[in-house]
Structure 1
Amino acid sequence: MADAARRMRDLAEKALRGPFPLRIRAWDGSEAGPPDAPTLVMRRRRALRRLLWKPGELGLARAWVAGDLDIEGDLYEALDLIAGIVWDTGEDGAPHPGRFRRAADLLRDPHTYRLAREALVLAGPGLPPSPPPEEARRRFGPLHSPGRDKQAISHHYDVGNDFYERVLGPSMVYSCAYWEHPDTTLEEAQRAKLDLVCRKLALRPDQTLLDVGCGWGSMVLHAAEHYGVRAVGITLSTEQAAYARKRVAEAGLTDRIDIRVQDYRAVADGPYDAISSIGMAEHVGRDLYREYAAHLYGLLRPGGRLLNHQIARRPWADEEAYHVDEFIDRYVFPDGELAPVGSTVSRLEEAGFEVRDVEALREHYALTLRAWVRNLEDHWQEAVRLAGAGRARVWRLYMAASALSFEQNRIGVNQVLAVRTRPSGAAGMPPARPWPEQLKA
C-alpha cells in the first residue's frame, strides 16, 4: 500500500465533491495534495479507523490526542481549512453557527456511505480503537449537580499547577486579557483586565468582594492589593485553592483574603458589596442559569454590583437543536454549555438585576489564546513532562481552534455589569461610562 495518501485524498474529494485543501502524508510514506498547504500527517492506519468509527470532530480529536494524526506547517491555517470543511457556509463565505455539518449526517447519503466502505478497506481490519486516556470518562450524578460539577472541574483544572504556569505565565489568569495596545505583553494585558473589572465594580477600601470561580487567586489578590477590599474567592478545584492560598500567604494578605473550596450554591454569608464571576458561568448550565443569577443577586447588598465575564456562542436558528462540541465536552470542559449573550442578559434581568453595561471582548480573547499557545509551544517539552503528551496536545488544539473561533465570530466573550438597585430604584451609577477612570458609587 504505497499510495495510501492519494487514495485518502481521492476519497475525501469524492465525499466533499470538491478539492481537499490539505496535503496528506500517510503511514506508508506517500504524500498527495497541494504542495504549499499544511500537511495532515496520518502517522498510523489507526487514525483512519478512529475517523471512520467516530466520524466528525470526536474522531479527529481522538486521533490528534493519541498522536495518530498530526499537522505540519501553520496550525492555525490548517484548522481554518478544516473548519471550512465541517462548517456550512452562507453566500458571504462565512461560517454560520447552527449549520454545522456533522460527518455522521453525511454518511446517511448513499454516495458517501459507499465511500466509507472503501475507506474501511483502506483503514484495515481492527476493532474501534479505545479513546485516549485524556478523554473524560463517565460522569456520575445529575447534570450540573454539585457533585458532578466538581468532577467536571477537576478534569480540567486539577492537571497540575506547574503545567498551567507554563501556559498562562506569571499572572496565572485563565480568562480573556484586555489588550489596550497591540504591543502589550500578556502579563500587562491580564493586569489591565483585572483592573478593568475592579473599576467597573467601583471597589473601595474595606468593601467586601466575592470572586466566584477564583482560579489561582489572581482577581482577589489584585483587588486586595490595589483596592484594599476584603475578598472571598471560591473554587471547586483543590489544586487551584492550594495554589491561591500559598500566593495569598506570600503576599501577606491572609487577614484580607479567604480562599474556599466551595460551590457557589453553598455560599450563604454576605451580603457582599461586589461580586466578580470571570470565566465561571460557562460551567453553570443553561437550565440552572436563572438559579445562578438569583443566588448571586441574593448575595449582594442593595446598590451592589456584579461583573459577569462570560464566553458566549452565536444563537442558533433552532435553539432546541443546539449541541455541545464533542471535543470540548470530552476533553476540555465536560458539561460546559455556552449561551448567547442575549440569554445571559435576560436571565440576569429576570433574577432582579439591572444590566447597565455590556462590553464585547471577542478580539481580546483571540489575542489571549494565541499568547497561551505560544507559551505552550515555547515550553513544550516541560509541558509534556508535567502533564503528558496527550494532555499537552489537547490544550494546544483547543486553544488554537478557540482563537480562530473568536476571530471568525463563531463565539464571543462579554463583560456584563449588573446592579442590584436600591429600593428607591437608585443604581448608584454615573451618568456615562467613566472608563478608564475610576467608577464612583
Structure 2
Amino acid sequence: MTVADSVAPLARAVLGDQVPVGIMCWDGSRSGPPDAPWQVRINNRRGLRRLLWAPNDLGFARAYVSGDIDIEGDLLAGLDALEEVADPTRGPGVQIDGNTKKALARAALRLGIVGPPPKPPAEEMKPVRGRRHDKARDAAAISHHYDVGNDFYELVLGESMTYSCAYWDQQADDVTAAQFAKCDLVARKLGLTEGMRVLDVGCGWGTFALHAARQYGAHVVGVTLSQEQADYASQRMVDAGVGGLVEIRVQDYRDIGDGPYDAISSIGMAEHVGDVMLATYAADLFALLRPQGRLLNHAISRRPGPPATFSKTSFIDRYVFPDGEILPLATMIEALEGSGFEVRDVESLREHYALTLRAWVRNLEANWDEAVAHSSAGRARVWRLYMAGAALGFEGNRLGINQVLAVKCSDRGRSDMPGTRAELMRSA
C-alpha cells in the first residue's frame, strides 16, 4: 500500500467524500483530483507525525511552517474549494472525531510514523509568563508579531505600511490607495481640523498619524508597543516634513497620562486588549478626551455567542496574534457606553477586509523570495496561511470589522456632533 493510499481515508474523513485537494507523498504516490486548485505535498514522515501529535489546525500549521508539508497552487482558490465542504460556522480546517482519530492511529502504525513529537518551528510563540494581558506579557505578544522586520512588512503591506482593513471606495484601485482612503475616512469621522491634538493608539508604522498631520495640520501623539514600528514611524515623520507635528512613543495605552486630547483613533489595536481589560481600555480613552471629543474605534469582531475559550491548539494564537481576542461588536459597544461614551455611528467594512487580505497575499506571493530573505521561509509561510484563511473568514461572515464612532458628551449632554451622517462625512 502506498503512502497516499494510507493518507486518503484520513482526508476523506476530514473533508468528506469529495476531497477538493490533491495529495502528493514522499514516495511519489498521490490521491485526490489531479486538477484540484491546490495540492498538498507531504514531504516526509515528520509532517505526518506532527499531525499525529496535534490532529488539528496547529499540527497542520506546524507541518506547513516547517516545510514538512507544502501547499502548491493557488492557495486562495484551494481554500475557496475547502469552504464548499467545510462546517459553515467554523470554515475550512481539520475537525477530528473519534473515528478519524482511530483511522489516524492505524495509518500511523502502517506508515511507521509513531515517535516523539517533533520540535515546533522557531516561528512559534514560546509560552510567556505572567497574567494574560498584563503589560509585560502584552509587550512580548506585540513584539512577536510586529518585530519581524520592517522590510518584510513593506513587501506585504505595500507603500502605505498600514496593517489594518483598507477602504475600497470608488477611487481606490489598489491597496495603497484604499489604505489612504481609510485614513481619510477616519479623519473625517473624527472631524479633524488644523491644530487639533490627536492620540493614535496602536499607531503601527505611523500612516494615520502622518495623514492627520500632513493633510489636516493636526498635532498627533502615536503610541505602540513595538520598538521597530516606533523607529520606523519616527523617521517617516521626519522624512515627510511633519516631525514637529507628530510624536511617536513606545508606550502602553494604560500609561498615557497627558490628556486631554481633541480626538482619539484606535485602528486595529483593540483586538490586543482582551475581554478582561476592555472596560479599562474604554475608561482610559474616555478620560483622555476633552468634552465633546471623539473616538474612532476600528476593530475586528466575531459573531455573537458564548466567548471563545483560549485554545492551546490554535494556529492564530501560537503563530500570529498571541493572546489576541476577537469580541462581538455588541461587547465593544457595551464597553464604550459603559465608560460614558455615546456611540454615534457604526459602519461595517467586512467585505473591505477580505479585499485587503487578498491584496496582501498577492503582494507576499509576488515577492516571495525577497520576503523569505528578509525574515524566514517559515515566517513567510505563516503570513501566507493566516492571511488567506482570514480572507475567507471575512467573506464567510465568521469575522467582521467595524468602525465605531463615539463621543464624550459635555456635562450637559452636548455632543457637538453633526445631525446627519451626510453632514458628518462633510464635516472635515
**TM-score normalised by length of structure 1:** 0.92
Mapped partners of 1:188, 1:15: distance in 2 = 41
Please say if 1:308 is aligned against 2:310.
no
Match of 1:57 in 2: 57
Q: Tell me how far 1:193 sits from its aligned partner.
A: 0.3
Mapped partners of 2:52, 2:266: distance in 1 = 41
**Equivalent residue runs for 1:32-431 within 5 Å:** 32-37=31-36, 38-83=38-83, 87-88=86-87, 95-97=88-90, 103=95, 106=97, 109=98, 111-121=99-109, 122-181=111-170, 184-316=173-305, 318-319=306-307, 323=311, 326-431=314-419
Contact 2:209 2:222 in 1 (8 A): yes
- Structure 1 SS opposite 2:300: strand
- Structure 1 SS opposite 2:414: coil
Match of 2:10 in 1: 11
Using the aligned pairs only, state the percent identity. Answer: 55
Q: Tell me how far 1:424 sits from its aligned partner.
A: 1.4
Match of 2:22 in 1: 23
TM-superposition CA deviations, 1:381-423 (whole Å, max 9, x none):
1100000100011011111111111111110100000000111
Q: Tell me how far 1:325 sits from its aligned partner.
A: 7.2
Q: Tell me how far 1:113 sits from its aligned partner.
A: 3.7
Q: Tell me how far 1:295 sits from its aligned partner.
A: 0.4
TM-superposition CA deviations, 1:139-174 (whole Å, max 9, x none):
121110110000000000000111111111111111
Contact 1:208 1:274 in 2 (8 A): yes
- Structure 2 SS opposite 1:434: helix
- Cα separation, partners in 2 of 1:56 and 1:404, compared to 1, 3 Å: same
- Cα separation, partners in 2 of 1:325 and 1:274, compared to 1, 3 Å: farther
Q: Which amino acid aligns with 2:411?
A: P
**TM-score normalised by length of structure 2:** 0.95
Q: Tell me how far 1:79 sits from its aligned partner.
A: 2.2
- Cα separation, partners in 2 of 1:14 and 1:425, compared to 1, 3 Å: closer
- Structure 2 SS opposite 1:260: strand
TM-superposition CA deviations, 1:309-338 (whole Å, max 9, x none):
00111123x336575871110000100000
Q: Tell me how far 1:182 sits from its aligned partner.
A: 8.0
- Cα separation, partners in 2 of 1:14 and 1:195, compared to 1, 3 Å: closer
- Structure 2 SS opposite 1:421: coil
Q: Which amino acid aligns with 1:419?
A: V
Q: Tell me how far 1:179 sits from its aligned partner.
A: 0.3
Contact 2:54 2:313 in 1 (8 A): no
- Cα separation, partners in 2 of 1:14 and 1:422, compared to 1, 3 Å: closer
Q: Tell me how far 1:190 sits from its aligned partner.
A: 0.7
Mapped partners of 2:244, 2:409: distance in 1 = 30
- Cα separation, partners in 2 of 1:249 and 1:200, compared to 1, 3 Å: same
Q: Which amino acid aligns with 1:21?
A: P
- Structure 1 SS opposite 2:413: coil
- Cα separation, partners in 2 of 1:186 and 1:324, compared to 1, 3 Å: farther
Q: Which amino acid aligns with 1:33?
A: G
Contact 1:161 1:239 in 2 (8 A): yes
TM-superposition CA deviations, 1:196-220 (whole Å, max 9, x none):
0000000011010000000011111
Name the Cα RMSD after superposition: 2.0
Contact 2:24 2:39 in 1 (8 A): yes
Mapped partners of 2:263, 2:116: distance in 1 = 55
Mapped partners of 1:131, 1:7: distance in 2 = 25
Please say if 1:433 is aligned against 2:421.
yes
Contact 1:15 1:115 in 2 (8 A): no
Mapped partners of 1:39, 1:213: distance in 2 = 38
Structure 1 stretches (4+) deviating beyond 6 angstroms? 99-102
- Cα separation, partners in 2 of 1:189 and 1:267, compared to 1, 3 Å: same
In structure 1, stretches of 5+ residues that fail to align are 89-94
- Structure 1 SS opposite 2:35: coil
Contact 2:14 2:95 in 1 (8 A): no
- Cα separation, partners in 2 of 1:372 and 1:311, compared to 1, 3 Å: same
Q: Which amino acid aligns with 1:169?
A: G
TM-superposition CA deviations, 1:220-279 (whole Å, max 9, x none):
110000101100000000000000110111122222111000000000011000000000
- Structure 2 SS opposite 1:274: strand
